[in-house]
Structure formats: C-alpha cells, structure tokens
Amino acid sequence: MSNLAQDLRDPNFTPGLHKLVPLGIQHVMAMFVANVTPAIIIANVAGFGFGSSAGQQGFPDMTYMIQMSMLFAGIATLFQTIGMGPIGARLPIVQGTSFAFVPIMIPVVAGQGVEALPTLFTAVLVGGLFHTCIGFFIGKIRFALPPLVTGLVVLMIGLALVKVGIQYAAGGVPLIGKPEYGSLAKWSPALVVIVVTLGVKFYARGIIAISAVLIGLIAGYVFSLLMPSGLSVGYIASQWSKASSFAAPEFMKYGFDFSTAAWGAITGMCLMAFVSAVETVGDVSGITKGGANREATDTEIRGATFADGLGTAVSGLFGGLPNTSFSQNVGLVALTGVMSRHVVTVGGLFLILCGLVPKVGALIRTVPIEVLGGGVIVMFGMVVAAGVSILADVNWNRRNMVIFAISLSVGLGLQLEPGALQHVPTLLKNLLTTGLLPAAALAIALNLILPEELAGEATEEVSGGMAGHKDD
C-alpha cells in the first residue's frame, strides 16, 4: 500500500486545503435536506408550519427550529471529530437531526402549537442525558438487538413516516378535505422532484449523484417559481429580508415542563435512545470497516455513544431536536476512502455557520410543502428500504418469522387504529400508538424469550433425519 493510501486511512491525517474543504462540504450536502426535514415536519404537525395562519404570518419558531437543526448538528459533529476526554469517537462521523425520533415526537406536539414545545424539549434533554448514560454499557446490550430487531425498527420508522410524504406532496394537512388537495397543480412540483432525483442519482457521478435529493428539491423549487399560482419571488424576498443576518441560539427559549403529562414524552424519548445508540454502533463499525478495513474499538463505540447523547441534550437546552450519527455519510467514507476526521470537522463548521445565520433557515422555510413532499417521499422510502436491507441478513426460520409477524402486526396495527386503545391511560396510549415502540419492545422480548429452535422445527429435523437414515 502506498504512503498516500495509508495516510487516507488515518483519522488524524489532514489532506491539503484543496481536498479538505470540498470533501467537508460534500459530507454536508449528503445530509443537509434530511437534517432540516424533521424540524419542518414537527412544526407542521404542531400547527405553525406551511399553510398554517402562523406560518403565513412569518411565525419565527419554524425558522428557529431549522436554524437549531443546522447549528447543533454541526456542534454534535465536532463532539465526534474533535472530542472532549472520553466523549467522541474521533472519527469522520457526521451528526444530524434524527428521523427515528419523529414518530415519538408527533403525538407530543400534534395540533398543540408552541404550547407543546416545553414538553418536547424537556423530553429531548432528558432523553439525551439517558442516551449519554447508555455509553457506559452499550457493549453489553448489543446481544439483545440483532438484525431482526434493528431491521424491524428501521422499517417501522419508515412506515410511520411515508404517510407524511404523500400528505405534503398533495398539498399538506391544512388542505385535506378541500378541492385543491391532491390536484395536479399540487402534485406537479413533487413529481418534478422525484423524477429529477432519480435521474441525477442514476445518471450522474461523484458529488452530483450524492446530492441527488438536494438537486431534485432545487429543481422542484424552480418549477414552483415558474408556475402561475406557485411560489413568488416577492414572497422569497420578503422572508429573506425579515430574517436577520446573525442570531445566537437562546438558552431555554421555550422553558421546560416536568409535569406528569410530560413523562410520556420523556419515556418515549428514552426508549428510542436505545435504538439510536445501536444505530450509532452500526455507523461507527461501518466507517472503520469501509474506510480503514478494521473493526471499531470499544473506546470508539463508547465515545460515539457519549457524543450522540450529549449532542442531543445540549440541543434540547436551546430548542433543537435529537441528534444521531447519519448513516448516509458512512457510504461516503467508503466511497472516497478518506478517513480523515478533519474533513468532517470542516463540514461541522459549515453547519454551525449556517445555523448562526437565520436567513438560511428563512430561505428553507420558503420551500413549498409540495416540493418538500417529493423529497420526503424519496427519503422515507429509503428508510424503509434500509430496514429491508438489514432484515436481509436475518435467518428466516419459522421462529424469526413468527417474531417479525407478531411485532409488525401489533405495532403497525396500533399505529393505524389508535382508537383501539381508547380505554388505555393517555400516557401509555401515546407510547403505544407510535407503533414503533410496541413493535420494538415485542421483538426484543420475543427474541430473548423464545428458544432458538421451535418444537415443530426440531421434530421435523428429527423426522427428516430418521427418514434419511431409513432410505440409506
């Protein structure tokens, strides 16, 4: 192996500036859209996003949440790449706002407006601290989360969110029941995003292909500008001019809520922290294997988990959403062969810069919900596909099929028919109707309780063996 190839596999190696900056920006482009989307979804569900009266009046909270998504993704990324004592893997790990927590957060804020934000960010803070504590024993709980469980969880995350993409592409929740909902005028920008994203992904190369969703969204944005009843330049200019050029995050902007009602959200956030921690373990292992052809050390896995949790907790203090390692950037490390953590540090600094400039958040807010819907359909579909990919590694004997079948049926069923739990206490109902938590809990419990070999399978094996012996 050449000296340069060896250097590229060293996390402490610093490439020249001509490589350092573009490679760092490339990591940001690969995750940028996915990073800000959860904030947009939560704002819309709460009632101060696209199409709401608050959103039309330029309500600042959605812009602020987008801003915090960028700022604290950058700060959490620096926790990973630079590190502080035992915190951080000191590897090229990009942190970002996690989709995994969205199904947990939706019931907390649904239709509640800004009044729900103290409860939400209390849950984010406590969940982050709990996530940090997982780092002390992450190695001991991995046995309970095989691909059967993690694959099912990722699949459920995607299935819980695909409805959101369709609603956005058709015009958004506020238009449901109105004639314009689902019209061709609403669907057209979303279809442009999907078509352009697929074209770029499969017919382009390098950084262009990696940025396919971002390019698709830009194409849909331009298409909306050209539509007679679409986005106007005047609206974009007004939103840009209203936003300041610099703003620092506000400590405890929304306050905190430790009332009895808040503990349902806190419990859900802590339970999801287990899933997020295991996802981070997989990402760390993927980076070291793909970039340096070695296994991740216990120190790296522990440090990455600490950084995951701390990033989420600090984010919650300032009105930001939960953070986790971004899996799409694992593929970038394998693709480029560059293991330098300093490359990702540059990307983290770029995210921090964007987060301190509210004009960036205000510009993102002007993206029509139909355009975002096209991107979300692609992204959430990929989450489902990632779950299926993990499940492909499962040995599909009858035991595992039974575990998967029961967990999926109960989880998805409760999500689709929440009325079935009308007699259950509100706190427990909010946890169960996510679908994600009951599916994960069932899969983990059944995987630990059920024997590796079902009685029927053992009998068939014995019968088959005896029959084979008789034939001989």
Span 296-331, pLDDT tens digits:
888 999 999 999 999 999 999 999 999 998 876 776
**Structural domains counted in the chain:** 2
Q: Residues 64, 115: one domain?
A: yes
Q: Which residue type sits at 285?
A: S
Q: Residues 164, 33: one domain?
A: yes
Instruction: Identify whether the C-beta of residue 11 lies closer than 8 Å to the C-beta of residue 91.
Output: yes
What pLDDT is recorded for position 54?
47
Q: What are the pLDDT digits (tens) for 254-268?
A: 998 888 778 888 998
What pLDDT is recorded for position 56?
45
Q: Which residue type sits at 184?
A: L
* Mean pLDDT for the chain overall: 86
Instruction: Identify whether the C-beta of residue 446 lies closer than 8 Å to the C-beta of residue 407.
Output: yes
Q: Residues 314, 438: one domain?
A: no
pTM (whole model) above 0.85: no
pLDDT confidence bin for 17, thresholds 50/70/90: confident
In a domain, 333, yes or no: yes
Q: Residues 415, 351: one domain?
A: no
In a domain, 203, yes or no: no
In a domain, 255, yes or no: yes
Give the whole-angstrom CA distance, residue 72 versus residue 35: 10
In a domain, 469, yes or no: no
Does residue 375 have a pLDDT over 80? yes
Give the whole-angstrom CA distance, residue 313 versus residue 76: 10
pLDDT confidence bin for 55, thresholds 50/70/90: very low
Instruction: Identify whether the C-beta of residue 63 lies closer than 8 Å to the C-beta of residue 362.
Output: yes
Q: Dig out the tokens for 259 from the structure.
A: 């009332």
Q: What are the pLDDT digits (tens) for 91-134?
A: 999 999 998 899 889 989 988 888 999 999 999 999 999 999 99
> Hey, what long-range contacts does 442-447 have (CB within 8 A, 24 or more apart)?
442/403, 442/406, 442/407, 442/410, 442/411, 443/148, 443/149, 443/152, 443/153, 443/403, 443/404, 443/407, 444/144, 444/145, 444/149, 446/402, 446/403, 446/406, 446/407, 447/144, 447/146, 447/148, 447/149, 447/403
Residue 91 has φ and ψ, to the nearest 5°, of: -130, 165
Whole domain around residue 37: which residue ranges? 3-176+228-370
Q: Residues 366, 399: one domain?
A: no
In a domain, 425, yes or no: yes
What pLDDT is recorded for position 376?
87
Q: Dig out the tokens for 447 from the structure.
A: 């995987």
Does residue 289 have a pLDDT over 90? no
Q: Residues 86, 29: one domain?
A: yes
Does residue 336 have a pLDDT over 80? no
In a domain, 134, yes or no: yes
Give the whole-angstrom CA distance, residue 166 versus residue 171: 9
Instruction: Identify whether the C-beta of residue 101 lies closer than 8 Å to the C-beta of residue 269.
Output: yes
